[in-house]
């Protein structure tokens, strides 16, 4: 159908012909332009071109990742109405919502702000936190915690230090000010992320089932309100910016990075929750995040099967002379779009007046199915709403297995000389002192992790735990963890993807929590490169397999592509945030065995592999080998066994073996407990290499501490459950870590205090600034 052109835009700057150059700069392909002309029945205006450009960017449309996301389970296989039931599915709304029992639910999601953080680390990271918090309270939930997954280059590089300091300060600034405890997450340092750090922020909120709000516009004639901060020229085209590779010129994109105002967001959060608490006042609500007013307007209309009309003259603006292109594409922070029940406008306005915030009536819901944008009474954009959302293009990208995979997977540990005892001894403090393994206290002491007075387990353990006050339904204890080892995914993306999920589950279980669901953040390179897309497809398939195995559906998340610096793509780095519930607060299990006289039991056996380990990286400078082996069925059995033994009161402490392997885990279990040491007898572990035994990173392994009286029962129960469990040592009172190796050699030994110093001081020393107290 051919339609007449729209009248000229009030700003003559926008009345220019759409040249090839202009179209290319909007990142739109020829086939996409043809589709736009077809959808509109005419040539788009420049404002409309901008709108399509952001809505059809990878960031908003998932056009390249959608076919992969379909692999994830979105529902629990085990039906029933127990905790973990999905109440709002991935992709339906701004965040997924799951049941936690007693009529209560949690909304949670993780989102990236990688590109902005690479260009402007403080504001980039801060606004990443702000964006994900809005996604959560948009659902009607009160946010109660944040976590984050961070990836940087090696910390000896001054630019990396600048980025690391800036990102941590930015996260701290936003989260601390708004008053959300940061329960931790994970931080890795690896060359692969130099020039393209990853900043993934998770937020979780609590609500009753009857408080769930939808981002849908319905009810013809219902007024559309714009609430929160005024619109400026900042963050113009941020979604498009996030959908291309970083280059030397990216610094010039600084205007695409938004500036955050956590105080404004705190007011907006409180005002919105107050408004949503009034029954029947809010018809639909959505935050203005990526693609700002454009995205919130067309998505609410599309979800509600309605149309929406916006009058730009009514939009609060903090700069004069902004044209329609700028207003529609601005990514100014701390703004929301609210569809209000007609006739109740005054109630909404009074609430925002109380909080000294804008609440501007900017439009209404229509029945046209179109998003119509007016300025000075005449249309500047008029687009079918679903054309921007549901009908955005979806591509099946080409995949090609990278040649390097065969090479690394063929790697044989025997190509390394057998380590001498002295090498094995010097390796441990080096591993513990590498920033990836070292204590992250430098990071989390800058985050308020105690505000809200509900933090039960602070950062620094296997998982964070928070108490949730569910009113008359009593308290719930929820554990949350972030995991994602990109090195494994680079070496074997399928297996690496499985490990990302399995490790998160293991961490939850070690805390005593039953896993419920995950949110994912897929950080990859340019999807148009077939090798990159292969890694992504395989990693996602592996994650999906693991999610099915553990029956932990994916409740939503984020895709961040084009994570490349001039040096190439990052390691494929899918990250998950996983949540679990403690059935009884008494099940809370520390990762720390703070006293002498406990028996140490290793679950999962002694494997002999080194592939992908931090030992290979830190000691030998190698990034090779196959990713560690993993068996999802065994992991499941072990997890069930561990939760049973925790419930039976048999477990004094449990710590997951991850980066650095057995000795790192054993040392971490007694760090900080005065004079407590560990004695390990590994003589029964017969195998080819002592370094693999001590530092290999085979999956599915957990170190438990139990009392001597309960040890026999625990081992028997393991045998009955078909779980590999063996006593490998005990905690001692001599402040030493002593290890007896197979083959009757003299054994290895360290002072726990010295190891602790290497571990606790590494990041602090690297980040020390002369003349400033640390």
Partner 1 sequence: MKAAVLQFPGSNCDQDALAALRDGLGIEAGYRWHKETTLGDFDLVVVPGGFSYGDYLRCGAIARFSPIMKAVVAFAERGGKVLGICNGFQILCEAGLLPGALIVNDCLEYRCLTPHLRVEEAGPLFNPASLGPLLRLPIGHGEGNYRIAPEGLAELKANGQVLFRYADAAGRVTEAANPNGSIDNIAGIRNRAGNVFGMMPHPDRAFAAYHPSQDGLAVFRSLLELPAPAHA
How many residues of this chain interact with partner 1, rule: CB under 8 A?
31
Residue 177 near partner 1 by CB under 8 A:
yes
DSSP summary character for residue 280: T
Q: Which of residues 239-278 bind partner 1 (CB under 8 A)?
A: 261-264, 266-267
> In sequence order, what DSSP letters do the residues of 116-168 get, joined into one string?
HHHHSHHHHHHHHHHHHHHHHHTTTPEEEEEEEEEEES-TTSHHHHHHHHHHH
Minimum distance between the CB of residue 481 and partner 1, rounded to whole angstroms?
18
What's the chain's length in residues? 774
**Cβ closer to partner 1: 586 or 684?**
586
Strand partners, 228: 335, 358
Q: Candidates 247-255, 290-298, 450-458, 622-630: pick the segment binding partner 1 (CB under 8 A).
A: 450-458
Q: Rounded to the nearest 10 degrees, how much is the dihedral formed by the CA atoms of 165, 171, 177, 180?
A: -140
Contacting residue, 34, 278, 421, 450, with partner 1 by CB under 8 A: 450
Q: Is there a contact between 544 and 72 (Cβ–Cβ < 8 Å)?
A: yes
> Whole-angstrom Cα distance, residue 442 to residue 220?
53
Per the listing, tokens 């009955």 go with 720
Contact pick of 5, 7, 179, 713 for partner 1 (by CB under 8 A): 179
Q: Based on the shown chain and the rule CB under 8 A, indicate whether residue 169 belongs to the binding site for partner 1.
A: yes
Nearest approach in angstroms of CB 452 to partner 1 is 6
Residue 170 in contact with partner 1, rule: CB under 8 A: no
Task: Burial-class residue 544 by CB neighbours within 10 Å (0-12, 13-18, 19+).
Answer: buried
Point out which span in 216-224, 410-418, 448-456, 749-757 binds partner 1 (CB under 8 A): 448-456
Inter-CA distances, 514 with 1, 219, 661, Å: 55, 41, 24
Using the rule CB under 8 A, give the single segment among 36-44, 120-128, 177-185, 399-407 that binds partner 1. Answer: 177-185
Q: Which stretch binds partner 1 (CB under 8 A): 28-36, 176-184, 251-259, 613-621?
A: 176-184
Q: Is 467 near partner 1 (CB under 8 A)?
A: yes
Q: Which of 39, 230, 281, 451 binds partner 1 (CB under 8 A)?
A: 451
For residue 65, what are the contacts with CB-CB under 8 A and spacing of at least 6?
58, 522, 527, 536, 559, 561
* Region from 403-411, 446-454, 502-510, 663-671 binding partner 1, contact rule CB under 8 A: 446-454
Among 448, 650, 659, 730, binds partner 1 (CB under 8 A): 448
Q: Which residues contact 377 (CB under 8 A, 6 or more apart)?
A: none
Which H helix or E strand runs over 654? strand 653-656
Check binding of 111 to partner 1 (CB under 8 A).
no
To partner 1, the closest distance from the beta carbon of 63 in angstroms equals: 38
Instruction: Please choose, from the candidates 113, 252, 122, the residue with its C-alpha nearest in 3D space to the C-alpha of residue 563.
Output: 113
Contact map string, positions 352 to 371, toward partner 1, x by CB under 8 A: --xxx---------------
Residue 608 to residues 140, 626, 689, 744, Cα–Cα distance (Å):
50, 12, 7, 18
What secondary structure letter does DSSP report for 317? Answer: B
Quick note: the x/- pattern for partner 1 over 564-603, rule CB under 8 A, is ---------------------x------------------
Q: Could you tell me which of 205, 357, 223, 359 has the C-alpha nearest to residue 282?
A: 223
Per-residue interface string for the shown chain with partner 1, residues 512-531, x marking contact by CB under 8 A: --------------------
Q: Contact with partner 1 (CB under 8 A): which of 453, 709, 744, 746? A: 453
Residues annotated as catalytic (active site), given as ranges:
59, 113
Q: Which residues bind partner 1 (CB under 8 A)?
A: 169, 172, 176-179, 261-264, 266-267, 354-356, 444-453, 456, 467, 585, 772-774
């Amino acid at each position: 159908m051919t339609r007449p052109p729209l009248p000229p835009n009030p700003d003559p700057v926008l009345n220019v012909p759409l040249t090839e150059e202009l179209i290319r700069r909007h990142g739109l392909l020829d086939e996409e332009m043809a589709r736009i002309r077809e959808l509109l029945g005419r040539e788009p205006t420049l404002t409309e071109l901008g709108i399509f450009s952001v809505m059809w960017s990878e960031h908003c449309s998932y056009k390249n990742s959608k076919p992969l996301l379909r692999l994830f389970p979105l529902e629990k296989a085990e039906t029933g109405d127990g905790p973990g039931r999905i109440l709002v599915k991935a992709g339906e709304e701004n965040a997924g919502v799951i049941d936690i029992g007693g009529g209560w639910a949690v909304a949670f999601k993780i989102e990236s702000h990688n590109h902005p953080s690479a260009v402007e680390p403080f504001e980039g990271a801060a606004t990443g936190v702000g964006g994900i918090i809005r996604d959560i309270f948009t659902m009607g939930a009160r946010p109660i915690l944040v976590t984050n997954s961070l990836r940087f280059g090696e910390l000896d590089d001054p630019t990396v230090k600048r980025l690391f300091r800036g990102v941590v300060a930015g996260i701290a600034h936003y989260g601390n000010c708004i008053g959300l405890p940061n329960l931790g997450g994970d931080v890795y340092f690896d060359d692969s992320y130099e020039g393209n750090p990853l900043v993934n922020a998770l937020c979780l909120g609590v609500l009753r089932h009857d408080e769930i709000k939808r981002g849908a516009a319905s009810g013809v004639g219902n007024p559309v309100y714009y609430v929160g901060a005024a619109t400026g020229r900042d963050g113009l085209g941020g979604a498009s910016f996030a959908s291309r590779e970083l280059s030397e010129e990216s610094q010039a994109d600084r205007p695409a990075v938004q500036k955050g105002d956590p105080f404004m967001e705190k007011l907006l959060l409180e005002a919105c929750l107050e408004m949503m608490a009034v029954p029947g006042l809010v018809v639909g609500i959505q935050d203005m995040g990526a693609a700002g007013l454009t995205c919130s307007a067309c998505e609410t209309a599309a979800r509600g099967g309605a149309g929406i009309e916006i009058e730009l003259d009514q939009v609060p603006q903090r700069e004069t002379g902004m044209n329609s292109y700028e207003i529609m594409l601005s990514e100014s922070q701390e703004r929301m779009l609210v569809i209000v029940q007609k006739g109740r406008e005054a109630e909404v306005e009074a609430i925002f007046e109380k909080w000294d915030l804008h609440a501007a009536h900017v439009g209404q819901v229509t029945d046209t199915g179109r998003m119509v944008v007016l300025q000075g009474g005449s249309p500047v954009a008029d687009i079918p709403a679903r054309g921007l959302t549901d009908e955005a293009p979806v591509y099946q990208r080409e995949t090609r297995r990278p040649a390097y995979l065969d090479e690394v997977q063929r790697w044989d540990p025997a190509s390394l000389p057998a380590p001498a005892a002295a090498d094995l001894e010097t390796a441990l403090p080096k591993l513990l002192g590498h920033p990836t393994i070292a204590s992250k206290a430098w990071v989390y002491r800058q985050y308020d992790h105690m505000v809200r007075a509900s933090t039960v387990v602070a950062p620094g353990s296997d998982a964070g735990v928070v108490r949730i006050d569910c009113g008359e339904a009593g308290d719930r204890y929820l554990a949350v963890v972030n995991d994602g080892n990109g090195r494994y995914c680079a070496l074997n993306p399928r297996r690496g993807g499985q490990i990302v999920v399995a490790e998160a589950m293991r961490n939850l279980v070690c805390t005593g929590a039953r896993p419920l669901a995950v949110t994912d953040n897929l950080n990859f390179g340019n999807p148009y490169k077939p090798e990159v897309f292969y890694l992504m497809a395989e990693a996602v398939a592996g994650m999906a397999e693991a999610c099915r195995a553990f029956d932990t559906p994916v409740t939503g998340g984020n895709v961040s592509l084009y994570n490349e610096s001039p040096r190439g793509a990052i390691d494929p780095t899918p990250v998950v945030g996983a949540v679990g519930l403690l059935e009884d607060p008494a099940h809370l299990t520390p990762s720390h065995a703070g006293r002498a006289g406990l028996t140490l039991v290793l679950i999962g056996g002694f494997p002999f592999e080194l592939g992908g380990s931090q030992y290979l990286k830190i000691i030998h400078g190698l990034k090779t080998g196959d990713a560690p082996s993993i068996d999802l069925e065994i992991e499941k059995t072990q997890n069930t066994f561990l939760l049973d033994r925790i419930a039976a009161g048999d477990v004094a402490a449990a710590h997951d073996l991850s980066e650095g392997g057995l000795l790192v885990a054993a040392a971490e279990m007694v760090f900080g407990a005065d004079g407590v040491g560990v004695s390990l007898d590994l003589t029964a572990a017969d195998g080819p290499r002592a370094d693999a035994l001590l530092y290999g990173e085979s999956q599915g392994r957990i170190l438990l501490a139990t009392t001597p009286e309960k040890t026999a029962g625990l081992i028997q129960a393991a045998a009955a459950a078909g779980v590999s469990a063996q006593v490998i040592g005990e905690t001692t009172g001599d402040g030493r870590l002593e290890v007896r190796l197979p083959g009757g050699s003299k054994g290895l030994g360290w002072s726990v205090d010295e190891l602790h110093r290497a571990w606790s001081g590494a990041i602090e020393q690297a980040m020390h600034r002369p003349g400033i107290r640390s």
